Amino acid sequence: MKLRHYLVLMGLSCALASQAAELPELRIGTDATYEPFEYKSPDGNIVGFEVDLANALCAEMKRRCVFVESPWDGIIPSLMAKKFDMILSGMTVTDARRKTINFSDKITDIPYRVIIKRGSGLDGSPKALAGKRVGVQKSTTEADFADKYYAKAGATVTRYDSTQDSYLDLAAGRVDALVGNLVEMQMGFLDKPEGKPFEFAPYELKDPVILGYGTGIGMRKSDTKLLAQVNAAIKAIHTNGSYKTIAAKYFSFDVYGK
């Protein structure tokens, strides 16, 4: 009986695995350097809030998520070249990006802030950082903001391929401030030992034309059917509580916003 029971379980396991393998792939482009949204675990797997969210969306759409890594500054061109089907990687919805790609309904809405060294006396404003060195990640909304406000005020803006590179330079004193996403900078830098000498400046970045309208999932304009499926899945995970459960795993506040 034990052998028969074991064989039944093995058969069921194989059947479920086969069903999962037969699900159509949904290739998701991501820059896995943006903790806690998407990043590499010690074993090399891509993990994070948006990875869990993607898997929940795939389950609703009866698809199998396949994550494809892409450098941030080439992620939209890679989408257009069909290297993956959509971008789920903390991408801010802006009018400029809408000219090239479509966006899903909102995923998150998180403010942008400035990190400075404790005791520096800098308030993070463009005026205070005139003549200073300000770091940003390449091809981001905060980089556009830095060009419009900080560079024009007289700061030197340095662009980085990843947030990790910018943190290394801030800790080493090669830049005086960093501009970026509040949650990512808090959890990816300030909460870690190397971030202890630093803090958020009181200045809050405000410019909806540049900083956008929260984040969404980017898709090619031709993929209207996929857009409708994704939006239906987003609605479903809010209705069934999956979004809230996943968010609570990573955040102690409402990451969705108003």
Residue 1's pLDDT is 44
Whether 36 has a pLDDT exceeding 80, the answer reads yes
Distance CA 75, CA 3 (A): 51
**Cis peptide leading into 36, omega within 30 of 0?**
yes
Asked if residue 3 has pLDDT above 70, the reply is: no
Tell me which amino acid residue 229 is: Q
Q: State the pLDDT at residue 118.
A: 97
User: Residue 7: pLDDT above 60?
Assistant: no
Type and span of the H or E element at 88: none
The pLDDT score that the predictor gives to residue 191 is 95
Higher pLDDT, 22 or 46: 46
Q: Where are the alpha helices (DSSP H) in the chain?
A: 2-22, 49-61, 75-80, 95-98, 141-145, 152-153, 163-171, 182-185, 208-211, 224-239, 242-250
Q: How many CB atoms lie within 10 A of CB 123?
A: 13
CATH of 24-108+213-250, one of 3.40.190.10, 2.30.31.70, 3.50.50.60, 3.40.50.1010: 3.40.190.10
Give me 122's structure tokens.
């800098």
- Answer whether residue 12 shows pLDDT above 50: no
Instruction: Answer yes or no: CATH 3.40.50.150 is held by domain 112-211.
Output: no
Please state the length of the chain. 258
How does the average pLDDT of the chain come out, rounded?
A: 92
**pLDDT value of residue 252:** 84
pLDDT tens, position by position, 205-252: 989 899 989 999 999 999 999 999 999 999 999 999 999 999 999 998
**What are the domain boundaries of the chain?**
24-108+213-250, 112-211
Q: Is the confidence at residue 35, as pLDDT, over 80? A: yes
CA dist 183 and 158 (Å) reads 21
* Tens digits of residue pLDDT in 147-177: 999 999 999 999 999 999 999 999 999 999 9
| pTM for this predicted structure | 0.76
Beta bridge partners of 133: 156
CA-CA distance, 109 to 52, in Å (whole number)? 17
R_g over Cα of the chain: 21
HEC profile of 181-218 = EHHHHHHHHHCCHHHCCEEECCCCCCCHHHHCCCECCE
Asked if residue 175 lies in contact with residue 135, where contact means CB atoms within 8 angstroms, the answer is: yes
Residue 83: strand, helix, or coil: coil
DSSP of 99-119: TTEEE-S--B---EEEEEETT
At residue 169, the pLDDT reads 98
Residue 8 pLDDT more than 60? no
- pLDDT band, very low/low/confident/very high, at 21 (cuts 50, 70, 90): low
CB 242 within 8 A of CB 49: no
User: Is 115 within 8 Å of 178 (Cβ atoms)?
Assistant: yes
β-partners of residue 117 are 198
Neighbours of 209 (CB within 10 A): 13
